[in-house]
Structure 1
C-alpha cells in the first residue's frame, strides 16, 4: 500500500507539472543558428530563467538574419534579434515592432599587429575588408569619424571589399586586405590571431557625440504582445538580464558553454568571453535622445536605403521599462 501510495503521489506530481507547463506561454525565438545570442539563450534555458519568469523559451535556429526576419514577420516566430535602427525603420513604415536591449558590442578597424598604420589616414590606398555591405553601421560611423577628424573620404581613398564575416576574417588574417571591419566576435578572434585595433567604433561614436552605451542589438517583439501580455515580455527582459548577470561574473558558466562557442584556441575563447562581457548593456532605460542623434547621423549617411522613412526616432521603439 505504501508503494502504491508513493507511486500515486509521484504520478500526481508529474501530472500537475505537465499541466503547469502546458499553461505556460511559449516564446519562439528565431535566431542565427550559430550566433553569439545562443550563448545567452542557452544560459536562460539551462538555468530555467525562462520558466522562473513565466514562459517557456523555444529556440529556432535559422540559416541567416534575413530568414529570421521572414519568420518573424510571417508570424512563425515571436522574437528575433536585430538592431534598433531596423526596428525604427519598420515602425516608420507602420509596423508595430519593439526593441529590448541585448548587446552594445561593436567592432572596430583591425590591422595586422606589425602594420605601420597608426590612424585612419594610413589606410589610404589600402584594401579594407568590411563585413556586410556599404550600409554597415560601423562602416558608416567610421566614415563620419574620418571625415570629421581627418578630412578623409574613406570611400574614395580606400578600396572596399565587402563580404560575409567569415570571409572578411579569412581575408584579414591571411593578409589579403590591409585592414578589416568585422562583427565583434570575429574581431575578438582576429585579435587573438595577433591583429590589433586601429580604432574602436565605440570611440569613434563618442567622438561624434553619440553614446557608445546605446545598445545596438536587441530582441525584437511585436507591440501587440507588449500591450496584450506585458508580463510575458517583461519576463523575457528579466530572463535576459538574469543570464547576463551570470555570464558577467561566472567563469564556470563560460566553461560549460565553451563547446558551443567555436573557439579553436584558449586565446580565442578568452577574447570571446571578454568581448561578450564588454558588450553587456547597463540595466535601465535607453537614452532616447542619444539614440535619436545616432539615427539622424545614420540617415544622413545611409538615407532611405538604410532607414526608409525613419528620419527621426519613432515613439515606442524601445521597451518602456528598458530592463
Structure 2
C-alpha cells in the first residue's frame, strides 16, 4: 500500500514538473492562413514558448470576427487586431491591451500598363478596396489625396469593396483600375507585374503620422496581464525572438515556404521581404504619434470606426518591452 502511494506521489510530482517545464498554456486564436502563423510557427519550432515560460496553443479561426468572439467569450487568450480597435474597446470600458506585431500596411497598385502616375490620375477610376469603407489604409489615402491633390476619392472614384483574395483577382485581371489591399496580397500583386502607385506608409508620413507606428498587434486582456504577467511578458519576448530569426535567417523561410501559399519564387521573395519590412523597432510605441493617427481616424471614420474613443485611452499599449 505504502509502495503504491509512493509511486502515485512520484507520478503526480513528475507530471506537475512537466507542466511547470512547459509553462502556462496561452491560447492564440488567429486566421488559419494568416501571415501571423509564420511567426507563431517559428515560436513553436524553436521552442521559444517553453524558453519563455509558456506553452503556445494556436487555434485556427475561419475569420477575424470568429477570433474576436472566442477572445471576448474567454475561449482564447490572445488574438490579432489593430490598436485602433483596442482603443475603441478601452473607450467602451473593456480592458484590452495591445502588443506590437507588425507595421506593415498596404498600398495602391495599378496595372503595369496603366497611365496613372499619381492619385490625381485616379479621378473617375474604379478602385478595389479590401476591408470595406472603414479600412484604415483607405481612410489614410483619402486624407492624403485631399491634402495633396484636392481630390475627394470617395466622391470622385467608384469603389468596389471585397475580401482581399477577391480584390487581388480583380486587380490582376484588370477588372478594377487600381486596388488597395493588405500587404501580403500587395506583395503578390507586385510579383505578378502590377505597379505601386503609392505606399500607404508614404501617405501617412505626408500627413504628419509616424509610419513606424505598428498598426497590427496581439491583443490580450488586462486581467490576464495582471494575473499572469510572466506568461504575457514571455509571449512578447518570444515574439521578438521569432522576429529576429525571421529577419536574419533565410533558411527559416525555406522551412516555412509550404505554409506561405507562394505560387512562384517571385511571390515567395516578395512575401519574405514584405514581412521583414513590417517588423517594428524594438522600442515603446510613440503615444503622441499614435494619438495623431487616432484623431485622423476619428475625423474620417467617426463613431462607426472608433465608437466613443476621441483620444488615445491610457493603457492601450503594452509597455513591458517586446
Same fold, TM-score > 0.5, yes or no: yes
Deviation of 1:140 (Å)? 0.0
1:188 and 1:268 in contact (8 A); partners too: yes
Corresponding residue of 1:10: none
Task: Name structure 2 gaps, 5 residues minimum.
Answer: 1-9
Structure-2 change in CA distance of 1:14 and 1:185 (3 Å): farther
Corresponding residue of 2:189: 190
Residues 103-152 of structure 1, C-alpha deviation per residue, up to 9 Å, x if partnerless? 00001000111111110010111100000110000000000000000000
Q: TM-score, normalization: structure 2?
A: 0.95
Deviation of 1:232 (Å)? 1.1
Corresponding residue of 2:175: 176
Corresponding residue of 1:201: 200
- 2:49, 2:138 → 1: CA distance? 36
Per the alignment, in what secondary structure is the counterpart of residue 239 of structure 2?
helix
- 1:173, 1:14 → 2: CA distance? 60
- 1:173, 1:130 → 2: CA distance? 13
Deviation of 1:307 (Å)? 0.1
- 1:129, 1:238 → 2: CA distance? 38
Corresponding residue of 2:147: 148
Q: How does 1:10-89 map to 2 (within 5 A)?
A: 18-23=15-20, 24-89=23-88
Residues 85-110 of structure 1, C-alpha deviation per residue, up to 9 Å, x if partnerless? 00000000000000000000001000
Task: Name structure 1 gaps, 5 residues minimum.
Answer: 1-12
Residues 141-183 of structure 1, C-alpha deviation per residue, up to 9 Å, x if partnerless? 0000000000000011100000000000000000000000000
- 2:237, 2:304 → 1: CA distance? 34
Per the alignment, in what secondary structure is the counterpart of residue 261 of structure 2?
coil
1:284 and 1:321 in contact (8 A); partners too: no
Per the alignment, in what secondary structure is the counterpart of residue 97 of structure 2?
strand
Aligned residue pairs total 312
Deviation of 1:321 (Å)? 2.3
1:272 maps onto 2:271 in alignment = yes
Per the alignment, in what secondary structure is the counterpart of residue 154 of structure 2?
helix
- 2:163, 2:278 → 1: CA distance? 21
1:130 and 1:180 in contact (8 A); partners too: yes
- 2:311, 2:15 → 1: CA distance? 48
- 1:169, 1:18 → 2: CA distance? 50
| Runs of 4+ deviating beyond 6 Å | 13-17
Corresponding residue of 1:241: 240
- 2:152, 2:53 → 1: CA distance? 51
1:311 maps onto 2:310 in alignment = yes
Per the alignment, in what secondary structure is the counterpart of residue 234 of structure 1?
helix
Per the alignment, in what secondary structure is the counterpart of residue 170 of structure 2?
helix
1:286 and 1:322 in contact (8 A); partners too: no
- 2:52, 2:164 → 1: CA distance? 35
Residues 217-275 of structure 1, C-alpha deviation per residue, up to 9 Å, x if partnerless? 00000001111221111101000000000000100000000000000000000000000
- 2:176, 2:134 → 1: CA distance? 19
Per the alignment, in what secondary structure is the counterpart of residue 77 of structure 1?
coil
